[in-house]
Each structure stands twice: as structure tokens, then as C-alpha cells.
Homo-oligomer: A and B are copies of this chain.
Amino acid sequence: MKNKFLALLTLLALPIFAFAEDTLNTGDTAWMMVSTAFVLLMTPAGLALFYTGMTRSKNALNTFTMVMGAFVLAFVVWIIAGYSIAFGANENAMLQNVFGGFNHVMLSGVSWTDLSGSYPTYVFIAFQGTFAAITVAIASGSVIGRMKFSTWMVVVALWGILVYAPITHMVWGGDGALLFDAGALDFAGGTVVHMNGGLAGLVLAILIGKRAGYNTTAMKPFSIILTAVGAALLWFGWYGFNGGSAFGANAIAGLAVLTTTIATAAGAVTWMLIEWFVYKKATLLGVASGIIAGLVAITPAAGFVDVTGAFILGIVGSFVAFFGVVKLKKIFGYDDSLDAFGIHFLAGLWGALATAFLALNDKELLWDGPLKESGDRMGQFWVQVESVVVVGLWTLIGTIIVYYIASALTGGARVDEETEHNGLDESVHGEKGMNL
């Protein structure tokens, strides 16, 4: 796959050289267009329902709007500049480490006839745009119920440029990009998407503070049925997310489809069992949470591991996320409203690190890096650690900056007390979730 990226980048940077082997393959093109649609569905339907169901009824529409609004705005930002920063090839080698430049602002220099390997570059751009848009939408889960919608919109726009695009460049940006050169393995976005979005959520949650009544009043979810449907749609869309990250309808995509299903099913069964042992009850929210934990954990490894690896990733992923959601949050007392950090960051972190040990030592699957070159698993592990630390720090600092700018531009990030009491649906959007 790395070769695909390379081919793509070369193509973009040096449009004069046409590669003989770059002809459109209809099967690959069909799969990548389908994958784009699948990943799209994950945000305004999957994630939106997943989060809306978990929020209190008075914030249900606000939650949905934060996710859907984030998606459309982030996608616009992606086309305007995000793509260029992420996948452009900067002539300055130093900058190329983290920043692809502005050559492709508004997709200038890209034509509908350009190919990215065996399918149109335009499809690659749309596909990657849905990744950019879901990542920031994930973060919304941590600040539900208290952030101004206007602040959130500014956060979304800035974050797409300052945090998401550079991180994507570092990991997937081709030759000269920091973590790409280091040989980090991140098949479909364990670091880029899940750790990134989950950590941004935590940072925002801490900066904006807890919801009024947190830990003293009951905050009951609107409807777990919506959450479960959201989880099912996320699962469905994730075939595009992981399968599409093989960039073609090939055997690696097939592997990703299978490992994704196994890890997810195993993660869900695990969460049910944990609940059964701890509470003597298996909840639907638990099954749904296990599904997401499994999906997140397999993401960085989907095209690298085998059946056993998939089972391990899913099972341990559920334990890690369960711990994050049930224990860690209580210990540190932050208010990660819908557990974006607890699930996406932690399971993503687990997957990213475990990939070093679980990836098959198979040169046809691996990307360049210590493991492929010399079967050096510990070397690969340190590269994974490096990528986790770099991404983590960038997100941490970037999100803090973005938060303060957004807060300043919109006169404070937090809604007033009465609005929070009455719920954001009424005051912020002037709508009601349900009129029976």
C-alpha cells in the first residue's frame, strides 16, 4: 500500500512523468468509490446516532448537529486546504516532514483524469476527506452538553488545518514525511484518526470543564436503541474504512474485511462477558461499546495481522476501553461525556502498539520499516511508540491552541448556565428532539 501512496505522490508532484502501469482498474475504482460512500455514512448517520443515543434527551439535537455540522464543515476545509497540507509534496525537505504545502489548495493541479495507482485521484481525495471529517467529529463526544455551537464550528475548521492535516502528512504523507520515513505501521488510522480524535476530545473536555451536575445527578441516555443502530452503521461503514485502506479490491482488502469482522465480534462478546462478570447484566450499550472498541483496535492492524491477531486485538481492545470508560474516568475525574477518549484513544493506542507484535512477518503485507526490513519487532515497537508520542504531542498542543483561538473568537467556549440547564437543543438550536 505504501507503494500506492508513493505512486500517488510522485504523480502529484511530477505530473509530467506518466507511469505506464497506471491505468484505471474498474474493480479497484468500484471498491474505492464504495469505500468512500461507506466511510461517509459513518459520520452523519453512524457516529451521529451513536452519540445522540447516549446523550441526555435535552441535548439530543445538539449532539447530532455537532457531529453532522462538523462533518460538512471539515470536508469543505479538507478540499480548500487540508488535502494539500496532508498529501502535497513540499519542496522544502524540512517542512516536508510535517507539512505538504499549499500547491493543491482547492485541488488545483489535480484533474479528473489523474489516477492514484489504479483508480482516480479524485476518489482518493474524497475517501481521505471522509477520514478528516470523522476524526474531528469523534472529538465532539467529549464536550457534548456544554460547548457553544459557534465555538465548535470554529474548532472544527481550525483543527482540520492545524492538527489533522499535518498529522496525516506525518504518517501517510510519503517520502520525506516524518513518521512515514520512520516506518510507522498504521493501516487505516489508529493514530491518525482514533488516537488523534480521542485525545483532542479529552483536551477539549478538560479545558472547557465538567458539565453542571456531573457525578451528582443522573445523566440518562436518550435512547440506547439509537446508539446501537449507530454502532451497526459504524461497523458497516468500517469495511470502507479498513477495506478501502488497501486502496484496491485485492487480497489485502479481503484480509482487512475478515480481520475487521473478527476483532469486532470478539470485542463485543468480550464486553458482554466483562459486564456479565462485573454486574451480572449484559447491556446493549455494552455490546455497542465492545463493537466500537473492537473496530478501533483492529484499525491500525487490519491489513497486517491474521486470525489470531484479530482475536487478540479485539478482546484486549475491549478490556482496555472498558477500563478507560469505567475506571480511568473515575480515577482522574475528567468529564469525557460520551467517552471519545476512553474508547477511541485507548483502543487506538492499544492497536497501534500491539501492531508491532501482532503484524505478520510477511513482506507482501508490511510497509517499509524495521519489521519488514529485518524482522525486528522491538525496533518496530519503538517506531510505533515514536509515532504515538509524536501524534499525541502534536494533538495535545494543537488542540489547546485551537481551543483558545476558537474560544476567543466566539466570546467564550461555554454556554451559559441556564442554557446548560435547559439543554442545548432549546436554546442553541431552537428545536426539540421529539414532539410526540
A residues with a Cβ closer than 8 A to B are 24-31, 33-34, 36-38, 40-41, 44-45, 48-49, 52, 56-57, 60-61, 64-65, 68-69, 71-73, 75-76, 79, 106-107, 112-113, 119-120, 122-123, 125-126, 129-130, 149-150, 153, 220-226, 228-229, 231-233, 235-236, 239-240, 243, 248-255, 257-258, 261-262, 264-266, 268-269, 272, 276, 279, 281-285, 287-288, 290-291, 306-308, 364-365, 428-436
Contacts and interface: CB of A to CB of B under 8 A. Distances in A.
Of A221, A261, A282, A291, most B-chain CB atoms within 10 Å: A261
Nearest to A222: B435
A26 B248 contact: yes
B40 A249 contact: no
The majority secondary structure among interface residues of chain A is helix
Given A112-B255, A254-B119, A261-B129, A282 B45 contact: no
A31 B37 contact: no
14 contacts: A24-B250, A28-B30, A33-B254, A37-B239, A37-B243, A41-B233, A71-B265, A72-B272, A75-B261, A76-B269, A79-B265, A120-B255, A125-B258, A223-B434
B243 A33 contact: yes
B434 A253 contact: no
Contact of A120 (B65, B239, B254): B254
B257 A72 contact: no
Contacts of A248: 26
A225 B61 contact: yes
- Number of copies of chain A assembled together: 3
Contact of A44 (B31, B228, B279, B436): B228
B31 A251 contact: no
B25 A265 contact: no
Contacts of A26: 25-28, 30-31, 248-250
A132 to B, nearest CB: 11
Contacts of A223: 433-435
A251 B28 CA distance: 12
Contact of A239 (B36, B107, B287): B36
Given A126-B257, A251-B112, A106 B268 contact: no
Among A25, A71, A265, A430, find the residue whose CB has the most chain B CB atoms closer than 10 A: A265
Contacts of A262: 75-76, 79
Contacts of A41: 232-233, 236
Given A33-B253, A257-B36, A233 B432 contact: no
Contacts of A429: 281-284
Nearest to A58: B436
Contacts of A283: 65, 429-431
Contacts of A250: 24, 26, 29
A126 to B, nearest CB: 5
5 pairs of A and B residues whose beta carbons are closest in the complex? A26-B27, A120-B254, A45-B232, A30-B249, A44-B232
A228 B49 CA distance: 10
A339 B290 CA distance: 30
A429 B365 CA distance: 42
A71 B44 CA distance: 24
A40 B432 contact: no
A435 B76 CA distance: 35
A73 B276 CA distance: 14
Contacts of A232: 41, 44-45, 48, 68
Given A27-B29, A122-B255, A249-B27, A228 B113 contact: no
Pick the most buried of A122, A226, A283, A308: most chain B CB atoms within 10 A of its CB.
A122
Nearest to A220: B435
B428 A281 contact: yes
A392 B287 CA distance: 32
Contacts of A65: 282-284, 287
B69 A251 contact: no
Contact of A225 (B34, B52, B76, B122): B52
Nearest to A121: B254
Contact of A284 (B225, B228, B308, B431): B431
